[in-house]
Structure 1
């Protein structure tokens, strides 16, 4: 497990390394897929992929898709490590068994949360559906708050400066004072919370898993706010913190 909370990270390098991880895990990706994964313009994704290809770390194959290049495939450069979602799945299942509500594994890319795996609670008449594949703004989601709270303030500011200056920046203004208060509260409790901020009628809680092999990840639990009771917050928070600790212990 690699952890890196260095606030001096260069965003372009981070993006290039993220694309290398995706290529290693998925085998190949297109410019469109790379742009979506990074939440950047296709032209930016194209430049990153072209740079990786130029240095031999990627190569363009059939259908103009990019895969690992000769430099990345040299002996000793790659090791057989299961993808994050595979390694986290047993713990996600354990969390689901403990809470009986819909659970997700999410990652943080820039200022966006990517839901990469999940288990839906189907026994309730009123339930929260799966959001696997859905990308949401980090500042309105429980998992986004949990992961942003891991970062120093200047790193949070830097991410949002990049997002707001890009063509695909947030459509609505961000209340940074509220965001900072939310992150302070998340640090105090160890759990990020979302009450109808990302979607109407939803209560959600999340805990950061830290950075695992370069991916900043979190577990989240979501339920209809109509079923949310006064004792649920502590119960859910305790299970999140416990399960996250178990996952981290298993990676040591």
Structure 2
């Protein structure tokens, strides 16, 4: 039962934290169990759980039960762990040397990608760095590559949570058709979807220390030719495999 007598408390935040504690203690949590623990309607409990899924603090596992997600804090190890940016940087540099086009490291946060790092090409006509920029995942090559690696129900949960947060509604059927193509190709593509004049390609690295990451290549459409996609795809897949062998268990 929740106590409501503490002054200054934000009730929705408190409820979300209660659910996180319960998931960690029990391993998983159903909507009914969450509603009972919070003393709220099941619909309210489900909205809270979907929000946690959208921000990666929870995932929906078997039998529609919710479990701690990749963003849920884990106990720290005995030594310091390099940041994701530091760990992936050598592979980002390797990719850049192989393709000589602007390359980025991005992570998936809810339904957005966040560009953590990048190396800019030196061509006179080039795609500039987007380090620090956030973009809708479904419009970017890196976002498509990362979403394609998630179960369908998790993709749906992320976009359901985003819709509850008053973000633009996405056609999920169309998105899943595109993600099916991305899984087949193993490469995410973006031709002027995120912004005019850009052609981009990306490969997912998987979850590294709980963060879903991807490497991408971007160039101006004006310099793009059909052979570039095949060349970029080969180098993205090659670099991603090297990174996975070094960084994933």
Q: Structure 1 length normalisation: TM-score?
A: 0.70
Any conservation in 1 of the 2:59–2:66 contact (CA below 8 Å)?
no
Deviation at 1:7, TM superposition (A): 4.1
Q: Are residue 165 (structure 1) and residue 161 (structure 2) matched? A: no
- Structure 1 residue runs without a partner (length 5+): 22-71
What do the CA deviations read for 1:208-232 (whole angstroms, capped 9, x no partner)? Answer: 0000110000000000011110100
Deviation at 1:80, TM superposition (A): 1.6
Moved over 4 A (4+): none
Report what 2:116 is aligned to. 116
Deviation at 1:174, TM superposition (A): 1.8
User: 2 CA distance for matches of 1:205 and 1:197?
Assistant: 12
SS of structure 2 residue aligned to 1:231: helix
Any conservation in 1 of the 2:103–2:119 contact (CA below 8 Å)?
yes
Deviation at 1:14, TM superposition (A): 3.8
Q: Tell me: higher relative CO, structure 1 or 2? Use CA pairs within 8 A at least 6 residues apart.
A: 1
Report what 1:154 is aligned to. 153
Match of 1:219 among 200, 215, 221: 215
Report what 2:173 is aligned to. 177
Deviation at 1:113, TM superposition (A): 0.3
The root-mean-square deviation of aligned C-alpha atoms, in Å, is 2.1
Match of 2:185 among 186, 189, 207: 189
Report what 2:105 is aligned to. 105
What do the CA deviations read for 1:74-101 (whole angstroms, capped 9, x no partner)? Answer: xx75532101110000000000000000
Deviation at 1:177, TM superposition (A): 2.7
Q: Structure 2 length normalisation: TM-score?
A: 0.71
Match of 1:247 among 240, 243, 247: 243
What do the CA deviations read for 1:158-198 (whole angstroms, capped 9, x no partner)? Answer: 1100011014x23xx42323211110011001000001000
Any conservation in 2 of the 1:7–1:152 contact (CA below 8 Å)?
no
Could you say which structure has the larger radius of gyration?
2
User: 1 CA distance for matches of 2:225 and 2:147?
Assistant: 27
Report what 2:80 is aligned to. 80
- Structure 2 residue runs without a partner (length 5+): 1-57
SS of structure 1 residue aligned to 2:131: coil
